[in-house]
Amino acid sequence: MSASARPSTTPDTPLRGEIQGGTIPEVFADLERRRATGTLVAASANIRRTAQLRDGRIQFATSTDRDDRFNQVLIKAGVISLKNLLRALEVALATRDRLGEVLVKMKMIPQAEVEKRVLSQVRGILFGIVDHASGQWSFEPGPIPVETIRLDLPAGAVAFEAVRRLNSWTRVYEQVGGLNAEYLATNEAAAVAARLPLFPGERALLDMCGNPTSLGEMCDGSQMGDFQVCRSVWGLLLAGALMKS
């Protein structure tokens, strides 16, 4: 873990640091290993996103970014008309109820669909947290609010999935090194592979790394594109399935 992301050895000590290219995925993976409970905050420019964890598992997330709002999730998914959405927003503003509750009461969207879209919103916010390549982060240990709809996913698994979606080649390449960088499957590789939703190509990468294998050899031997190979290698490093040899 980079110096900016290295945590205190005391679990109940607040943590903070500067966000660099690989910071947030490393923090997520570390919080899962420590079974941490509390709130992670990532802030840059005028945007502040939070992730709430219990025992190293992410329960919920919030954001001040207008593009992360629930109404935008709904309209982009095409599950409600703009006319009905605006009506529901007016009621939510007047009653101070959550938009999802209003939509269910007005019989515009079923409860199951609301829950599905809330979880989609939360995942999007979490991916947005990983997208932070600069700014400041902090983790405040302590109780978190109890939410009716919870994601309840291991923080490291979220980091793994988010890294596989990153569009920044610069950030990915900084983490995996050059073509001559060599990797080796860890003793935990099989257990990690069993609990993560790996692509077939990612399982093939782990098989290749039974012996020290260079990044260049993985790119040459994989049916995935080289960019995806590099993203997957970073994710497998974070998950503890690969190590640099």
pLDDT in tens, 161-187: 999 999 999 999 999 999 999 999 999
- Distance (Å) of CA 16 to CA 26, 50, 103, 127, 146: 13, 13, 38, 20, 24
Percent of the chain beyond pLDDT 90?
A: 90
Contact by Cβ (8 Å): 36, 11: yes
User: 221: part of which helix (H) or strand (E)?
Assistant: helix 215-221
Is pLDDT at 153 greater than 80 in this prediction?
Answer: yes
pLDDT in tens, 11-56: 567 899 999 989 999 999 999 999 999 999 999 888 999 999 999 9
State residue 10's pLDDT score.
53
Spatial strand order of the sheet with 182-185 comes to 213-214, 182-185, 242-244
pTM of the predicted model as reported, rounded to 2 decimal places: 0.86
Q: CA 175, 16, 58: angle at the middle one, nearest 5?
A: 75
- Distance (Å) of CA 79 to CA 53, 72, 76, 107: 29, 11, 8, 13
State residue 185's pLDDT score.
98
pLDDT in tens, 55-105: 999 999 999 999 999 999 999 999 999 999 999 999 999 999 999 999 999
**Alpha-helical regions (H) of 63-182:** 70-77, 82-95, 99-105, 111-131, 155-163, 169-176
Instruction: Provide the residue ranges of all domains of the chain, joining segments of one domain with +.
Output: 1-163, 169-244
Is pLDDT at 9 greater than 60 in this prediction?
Answer: no
Which residues are CB-neighbours of 105 under 8 A, at least 6 positions away? 97
